[in-house]
Structure 1
Amino acid sequence: MNVRRLIPTAALAGAVALGATALTACSGAGATGSKDGKVGVTASFYPLQFLAEQIGKDHVKVDGLTKPGVEPHDLEITPKQTAQLGEADVVLYLKSLQPAVDKAVAQSGVKNIVDAATLTELEVHGAGHDHGAEEAHAEGEGHDHGHGEGEGGKDPHVWLDPVKYAEIAKGVGAALEKADPDHAADYRKNTDELVGKLTALDTEFKDGLKNTASRTFITTHSAFGYLAERYGLDQEGISGVDPESEPSPARMKDLQAVAKKDNVTTVFFETLASDKTAKTLATDTGLTTDVLDPLEGITDTSQGADYFEVMRSNLKNLQKALGAK
C-alpha cells in the first residue's frame, strides 16, 4: 500500500494564490479569456477527461491531473497542478476517489466545479457476490473500506457501467453549457451523440453476456461491481476496491473454492496494478490469467486507445472467460 504524500492545506492555499499571478501561462487548462479562446477544463483522471474531450471537442482545452501510467488512487498533487486548478474554467472530479484532488479542489476557488459522484447514484459493493447486490446490501458483509472508496464506503467506479457513465456525461455537458453558453448547442449535440454511443455499448454488453457457461469472474481489483450488477454477473475480488491491499490466506482459500464451484476459468488482473496475487491464485487453482481493465488511465499497454475500445476488449475477455455462447 503506497502512503500518499499529500501537501499541506496551507501549501495548497499558497499555491492557488500564486497561481493567479505567477502561473498564468501554465500548460494545463486555459482560461476563457486566453488567446485561443477555449474553455479551460481540468479533469482529475481519465474517465472524466474523456467525457470533456468528447463533449467539448474544439471548444475546450482539457488537461488531466492524473498522467498515463499513474494509479489514480495514489495521485500526489504538485503546487503547479494546484495552481492549474485555480485557473480552470471548469473542474471535473469524483469526490473521495482521490483525496489529494479533493483538498486541491476545495482550495481552488473555481466557480464551475463538477463532482461526478453527484451526477449518478453511487452504491456499496463488496469484494464478492455483487450479482444484484442483495446479500451485500442486506448484510453489509465483505465491504473493504480502503482508499479507493467513495463517501460512506460507496464504490466510485461508476464509469464501468455505460448507463451510469451516460448519466455523468449529461451532467458534464450541462456544466460546459453553463461555462460557455455561446456554444451550448454544440455541447448538447455532442452529449447526445456520446450518450447514443454509450447506449449502444450497453446493448453490446447485454447481448454479449446474455448466455454464458459461468456468471462468476475473479479479479484482483474489485472495480467491476457496477458492471457485474448491470449485466447479472458475480464479481469476486481478490482484494477490495483498493488494488494494492494484500488478501488474507482465508480469502485466497475461499476463492479457490469459488473457482471450483462456479466453473471459473480465468483470474483477471489489470495494467496499472501488480499481477502477483492473480498469478499466484491462478497457479494454485490451475486457472489462466487475462486482463480486465478498470479504465482508470490509458497507456501503451492498454487493450485499446480510448474508453470504447478498452471496454470492448473487456467484453471480449469476459466472454472468453465466462464461456459466452
Structure 2
Amino acid sequence: MATVRRIKLGSQGLEVPAQGLGCMSMSAFYGPPKPEPDMINLIHHAVNSGITFLDTSDIYGPFTNEILLGKALKGGIREKVQLATKFGAKFDENGKMVVIGHPEYVREACEASLKRLGVDCIDLYYQHRIDKNVPVEVTVGELKKLVEQGKIKYIGLSEASALTIRRAHAVHPITAVQLEWSLWARDVEDDIIPTCRELGIGIVAYSPLGRGFISSGAKLLDTLSNDDYRKNHLPRFQPENLEHNQKIFDRVNGIAARKGCTTSQLALAWLYHQGNDVCPIPGTTKVENFNQNVGALSVRLTSEDMAELESLASVAKGDRYDDSRVTWMNSETPPLSSWNFE
C-alpha cells in the first residue's frame, strides 16, 4: 500500500494522515456491535497502513467504543496514533440526547475518557455538540485548563456555528472543527468552512460517504439491521426521499465508472481536492472497505471532473438529522455576559 501523505490539521502543530478512521460504527448506531477481535485487527491494520488518526466519542456505545480503542492501543502502538475523542453529548434515562458544556462536566468527562482509553493524554478533544445554555467561552476555558495540565493536547469543536467557532477560538486556539461534509451535505460551505480557513482551523469531515449511501445507493437499506439508526431515524434514508437521493448516487456512479474508481473513492477524492486542510474520517467495519477508502488517496480529479461533481452535488433531499437531533446542528451559545460565575 502506498505511503499515506500527511497534512497539518490546524495551526497549532497537529499532524495527521490525509484520511482518518471513524470508529463509531464498530460499536454503535449502525446495527449491533461488531466482534471485538475483528475490530481490533481492523484498527491495527489501519495504523500499519498509515491511517493513524482514530476518531471516537464517549457517546458511542455509550463508552464501549472508547473501551475498544483502549484495548486496541495496548502493545506499543499508542505513540503511532493521533487519538481524537469527544464529550458533551449523552443520553438521559429516557434515551433522549442531552448536551452538557458545564466546566465540571468537561473535566469529569475527560477523566473518564482517559481511563477508558488507557492513556495519559488525548491528542484532540472535541466538544461533540454545543450546549446552548452555556457560553462557549466557559466550556473552552475549562478545556484550556486541561491543555495546560497536559491531559489533552488540542481542542476541537463539532457542529458549531461560525460565530461559536470565532468565540471559542478567541479563548484558546481551536485546532479542528468536525462537521458533516460530503457530496450530499454542503451547507457548511457557506460560512463555516470559510471561517475555519480564516482562523487557521483544520476541517475534519465526518460521514464523507453520506453514511454509506454514496457507497451503495438505495440498495444499502436492504443490508441494514432493524436497529440501524439510519434505517429508522435519518430522513435521507426514508422512502419519500430515496428516489431523489438515488439520482445523486447514479450520477456520481457514472462519473466514477469513467474514472475507473468506485463511488466511495470518488466522493473521498472530491473532499481531498478541497484543500490540504481537510481530513475525511470514513468509518468502516471491514478491511476490504478500509483498503478501498485508502485507495481514494490515489484518485486524481481534473478541474473538469470537479466542475461536473459540483454541478450535480445538490444537497440531498431530507434533513441531515431527525427532529430529535436537528436542534444541535451548527449550534450557537448564549453570550458570556449571561453566565453566573458564582
Q: TM-score, normalised by structure 2?
A: 0.27
Q: Larger % of strand: which? A: 2
Considering Cα pairs closer than 8 Å and 6+ residues apart, tell me whether 1 or 2 has the greater RCO.
2
Q: Which of the pair has more CA radius of gyration?
A: 1
Q: TM-score, normalised by structure 1?
A: 0.28
